[in-house]
Amino acid sequence: MQPTPNHHSDWKKSFFPARALRLFGDVRPGESTQVLLMLANLFLLMVGYYILKSVREAIVGGAELKSYASSAQAICMMGFVPLYSWIASRTHRMKLVMLFLSFFILNIELFVLGDYTGIPYLGFIFFVWLGVFNVAAPAQFWSYANDIYTKPIGERLFPIIAIGAVAGSPLGSLVAKVLFEKGIEPYNMMHLGAGILILHLGLYIVIDIRTRSEKTNHAPAKTESLSGANGFSLLLRNPYTRMIALLLLILNLVNTTGEYILTKSVNELAQHQATLQGLLPNSSEYINFIENFRGRFFSGFYLVVNLVAFVFQALIVSRMMKYIGLKAVLFMLPLVAFGAYGIIAMGAGLALIRFSKTIENATDYSVMNTGKAVLWLPTNRQEKYKAKQAADTFFVRFGDVLSGALVFLGTEIFSLGIRWFAVINIVLICIWLGVTLKVYKNHKLVSSGCADPVTPA
């Protein structure tokens, strides 16, 4: 006969971490260790990613080039999603994670080797690659989280786990900023990103062993392979997941167009400063100045964005979920974005554009990221892994493609300035609000048929 679990003893053993976590959300007895491990793993992922993202901004600076590269990312996603689904159908959960991350870690070292050997268009290739990684890796993390937590428990704990993202992001930006100021070459910084991702993979293994070997307050371990259709088929045959995909597409279309506005403004200022320094256009000194200016600006920009996102995530998101609900979480970003692009449309300079994008991105990285994760809790395992990967990769990047087409038409055909792109975003946000309302209503319908939460052991 097994002894009766002693919840008082469990609470006492984890009292200090649990009490600290309760400042940020509703953590219950026996949950704190797993939550801290998940938080730390997401933290490592975002530290590594933001180092690589700062490298990207230094080596690929053209605003138009970034927009056009999104088409290449979407094409890659058309092959990536079926391949990911095929592998997921033939392997168990942890092996899928290990194969996925090992592939991307190897790629990073190949980019460093490519720089030494002088491969042409390497910066463009890296931009496309990072565009795949930066949606696929977080998507897999949240698929895993959706798999090990039930819906009611996930709604309580996801806002706390997501603190790892908004804590890791500013640290990665700060590390990159310091390394840029010390004159470290961008490609040499990639080694550090790869090393952090190795630690991230190791922590996955620790979490998975604990999930399978201990009775904790999360869903029963389901490590078998995922049979059934591929991600696109699963996504498109379900009206609820289709609406999620449309929501992500419009969200990213607006955000990427906003990134074009910011990058265009930064490039114009960098070129002006280089001219004041007396540097000749296209000279090596001019190019180095522009790259360093962009690297310092965007590493500093990401640092501030993620510090603000950390405050939002730590102090606001869990309370919004608890006292107002998912509706407030889903609607906050489009309303913030509406205000941000309204300011830009009135003719704001770089300082106000930076401020507007800071608030928009901080809300996206904290409030909206939590909302996007929660939306998948009532779905089945195949949809959590395969359909979510399709939505978070292809449809997000297809939003980039549409933004690239918009930039092309706006700059090459109609010669639109920054203010007109802001006006277009305002129109898109109105559509976004309507889609958000539809997603929320569908979520309520789907959630009404969910199973009861797992009883803590």
Q: What would the pLDDT profile of 417-449 be if each residue is shown by its tens digit? A: 999 999 999 999 999 999 999 999 999 999 886
- Mean pLDDT rounded to a whole number for the chain: 86
Supply 149's token pair: 């937590």
Single-letter amino acid code for the residue at 4? T
Closest residue by Cα to residue 172 from 140, 201, 134: 134
pLDDT of amino acid 236: 92
Sign of CA dihedral 137, 141, 147, 150: negative
**Per-residue pLDDT tens over the stretch 231-272:** 899 999 999 999 999 999 999 999 999 999 999 999 889 988
pLDDT of amino acid 449: 67
pLDDT of amino acid 437: 97
pLDDT of amino acid 247: 98
End-to-end C-alpha distance for the chain, whole angstroms: 15
User: Are 432 and 5 contacting, i.e. CB atoms less than 8 angstroms apart?
Assistant: no
DSSP state of 453: P
CA 98 vs CA 12, 39, 71, 141, 320: distances in Å: 35, 19, 28, 12, 35
Sign of CA dihedral 237, 241, 245, 247: positive
The percentage of the chain sitting over the pLDDT mark of 70, rounded to a whole number, equals: 89
User: Are 178 and 50 contacting, i.e. CB atoms less than 8 angstroms apart?
Assistant: no
Closest residue by Cα to residue 317 from 166, 143, 135: 166
pLDDT of amino acid 31: 85
User: Are 274 and 289 contacting, i.e. CB atoms less than 8 angstroms apart?
Assistant: yes
Closest residue by Cα to residue 154 from 342, 392, 432, 370: 370
Q: How far is residue 130's CA from residue 231's CA, in Å, rounded to a whole number?
A: 21
pLDDT of amino acid 220: 46
DSSP state of 410: I
Please give the average per-residue pLDDT across 142-162, as a whole number: 91
User: Are 89 and 228 contacting, i.e. CB atoms less than 8 angstroms apart?
Assistant: yes
Q: How far is residue 96's CA from residue 83's CA, in Å, rounded to a whole number?
A: 12
**Per-residue pLDDT tens over the stretch 181-202:** 888 888 889 999 999 999 999 9
Residue with tokens 């530290």: 47
In a 13 Å sphere around the CA of 391, the CA atoms on its Cβ side amount to 31
DSSP string for residues in 93-135:
HHHHHHHHHHHHHHHHHHHHHHHHHT-TTHHHHHHHHHHHHHH
Sign of CA dihedral 256, 260, 262, 263: positive
pTM of the full structure = 0.80
Which of these ranges, 77-91, 264-278, 441-455, has the smallest mean pLDDT?
441-455
Angle 432-434-435 (CA atoms, 0-180°, nearest 5)? Answer: 65
pLDDT at 219 > cutoff 80: no
- Count CB atoms within 10 A of the CB of residue 111: 21
**Per-residue pLDDT tens over the stretch 373-386:** 999 999 988 899 99
Closest residue by Cα to residue 174 from 338, 269, 41, 299: 299
Supply 454's token pair: 């797992």
pLDDT at 226 > cutoff 80: no
The percentage of the chain sitting over the pLDDT mark of 90, rounded to a whole number, equals: 51
pLDDT at 392 > cutoff 90: yes
Rg, Å, the chain Cα set: 22
Q: How far is residue 419's CA from residue 424's CA, in Å, rounded to a whole number?
A: 9
Q: How many residues does the chain have?
A: 457
pLDDT of amino acid 298: 82
Q: How far is Cα of residue 267 from the mean position of the Cα atoms in its chain? A: 25
